[in-house]
Structure 1
Amino acid sequence: MSDEVEPGFVRVRLDLSYDGTEFSGWAKQKRGQRTVQEELETALAVVTRQPGPFDLTVAGRTDAGVHARGQVAHVDLPAELWAEHGPLLLRRLAGRLPQDIRVWRVAEAPAHFNARFSAVWRRYAYRVSDNPGGVDPLLRNHVLWHNWPLDLDAMNETARLLLGEHDFAAFCKRREGATTIRTLQELRWERRADGVLEATVRADAFCHNMVRALVGTMLFVGDGHRKPEWAAEVLAAGVRDSSVQVVRPHGLTLEEVGYPADGALAARNTEARNLRTLPCRGVIGS
């Protein structure tokens, strides 16, 4: 996964969105399940009349059932192919892709751009309804129903205790060789005019199940089962707590990915790779 583009190729950035309801996540699966990556790579090959799919690199590998409004990916295309098909790709992809995936922008990326490692933050939203009657049927694939009244102030008090740079091992599914240290830059709840509670969750990166576990913890506080300081105790313990619920994926949407100025991309790529190999397992900040 190089930041340098091979001679004769052009790195192309794609901004896209998808409804994750019918997908087994972003990444291609060996067992043949339907994935966003496979659908998009196949569509690119078809519209450019190539014999095989191209390899996409993505900003965030969303899980099965998770949606995206502001996903970013890149692909390296032969320069002559880009010159021939580039101006037509957006419209051709719209005609070839299924209706639950849309590409909104196709453009040549700046030097050193890497959709994954250049990102300085990812912003997710998680949406919950505590309406005793349930969720609006038109929102059922995007909003979780929580059958208890939720205290917005208590959830936001909990959120403030989790902000900053920490080892989030207590809220992550560990992966061999990967660090669970992350910087949680923003975490807050608001109740929309339609009564849906919406969490904004922004960090430099996320480990597996982190957002859904954080949401599950805050819901447990919001419905009165735990006090706000319980979340800080779980965080400090540094191990998975069986009482932390990982909520269902359908309430989660990747809303936006942030990148630095073009001149800072190379430095950001190096920094991001270093962060992913930190050996520390304890809480390192607040």
Structure 2
Amino acid sequence: MRRIKLIVAYDGTNYCGWQVQPNGITVQEVLNQALSDLFAKKIACIGASRTDAGVHALGNVAVFDTDARMPADRIAFALNTRLPADIRIQGSSEVPPDFHPRFTATVKTYEYRILNRTFADPTRRLNSYFWYGPLDVDAMRQAASYLVGMHDFKSFATAKPEVTDTVRTIYETSLEKEDDLIRFRITGNGFLYNMVRIITGTLLEVGKGDYPPEKVKEILAAKDRKMAGATARPEGLTLVQIRYPEWDFE
């Protein structure tokens, strides 16, 4: 039995998130069906990041087990002929059988896109959040810098009863504006539920002038979700990359 790793990109607009659920179609469900069709037996993949409804990905990671002889690097091509246009495999490779995409130490990068202009652009409505008013990008960048390091991010998470450890390490943040598009990138060893979207909602408050940049330090210290900004909409968020530094296949 071989374990195959897939790099999965998708436009999350038409999906109820990554994880299989009874209330709507998901990326994992569609991928499982394509795998089962390809190998003529029921296959269920395991995903690294369970993105929410409307959230996109350039580099989510999934694995599945198979005894088929198809060369690992050809599986991506075969799957793409069976997947809808809004899901595409970016690469496939064989990995050790004990590799787990979610429980192995990772480095994840997310990007949130803010379309900052007077009028909305309908051609970009599905992969960016629109804000019509002025935003102080320098203040937002300063606020984001306070997130770097190991912190308790309880204030920046939607609480889940099963999650008791809310400490995460952020390695890097960047926030740049080119023409009318602001790109906020954040890289860390893991993210809590809605963490990037709540951080973005807070940075928007800073950009509007409602919070000073230093407010982020106060919010971190409070460990209270009510102190942070609103949860930003999902369509602006993309999972860019997941890396596994401890594994040789990187």
Deviates more, 1:212-221 or 1:91-100: 91-100
- Hey, what does 1:150 align to over in structure 2? 135
1:160-239 pair list within 5 angstroms: 160-178=145-163, 179-192=165-178, 194-239=179-224
Of the three residues 37, 58, 76, the one matched with 2:28 is 37
Distance 2:249 2:11 in 1: 32
Q: Is the 8 A contact 1:59 1:119 kept in 2?
A: no
Q: Is the 8 A contact 2:110 2:186 kept in 1?
A: yes
Deviates more, 1:242-251 or 1:36-45: 242-251
Deviation, structure 1 residue 195: 2.1
Distance 2:228 2:58 in 1: 31
Distance 1:141 1:263 in 2: 36
Q: Is the 8 A contact 1:119 1:257 kept in 2?
A: no
1:67 aligns with 2:67: no
Cα deviation per residue 1:166-203 (whole Å; 9 max; x = unaligned)? 111111012223221111111220012x3200001111
Distance 1:121 1:87 in 2: 24
1:55 aligns with 2:44: yes
| Structure 2: runs of 5+ lacking an equivalent | none
Deviates more, 1:109-118 or 1:233-242: 109-118
CA 1:263 to 1:84, structure 2 compared with 1: closer, same or farther past 3 Å? closer
Distance 2:161 2:72 in 1: 39
Computing the radius of gyration over CA atoms, which structure comes out larger, 1 or 2?
Answer: 1
Cα deviation per residue 1:180-227 (whole Å; 9 max; x = unaligned)? 1111111220012x3200001111000100000000001100111111
Deviation, structure 1 residue 92: 2.2
- Which one has the bigger strand percentage? 2
Deviates more, 1:95-104 or 1:85-94: 85-94
Secondary structure of the 1:113 match is: coil
Distance 2:231 2:73 in 1: 43
TM-score, length of structure 2 as denominator length: 0.94
Cα deviation per residue 1:256-285 (whole Å; 9 max; x = unaligned)? 1111143599xxxxxxxxxxxxxxxxxxxx
- Hey, what does 2:237 align to over in structure 1? 252
Deviation, structure 1 residue 113: 2.1
Secondary structure of the 2:146 match is: helix
Number of residue pairs aligned between Structure 1 and Structure 2: 249
Deviates more, 1:34-43 or 1:107-116: 107-116
Distance 1:184 1:171 in 2: 13
Deviates more, 1:99-108 or 1:247-256: 99-108
Q: Is the 8 A contact 2:198 2:228 kept in 1?
A: no
Q: How big is the alpha-carbon RMSD for the aligned residues of Structure 1 and Structure 2?
A: 1.8
What is the aligned-residue identity percentage? 37
Distance 1:84 1:264 in 2: 19
Secondary structure of the 2:4 match is: strand
Of the three residues 109, 115, 126, the one matched with 1:129 is 115
Specify the code of the residue in structure 1 equivalent to 2:32: E
Specify the code of the residue in structure 2 equivalent to 1:21: T
Cα deviation per residue 1:125-156 (whole Å; 9 max; x = unaligned)? 0000221122x322110111112211111001
- Hey, what does 1:24 align to over in structure 2? 16
Q: Is the 8 A contact 1:118 1:260 kept in 2?
A: no
| Structure 1: runs of 5+ lacking an equivalent | 1-8, 266-286
- Hey, what does 1:272 align to over in structure 2? none
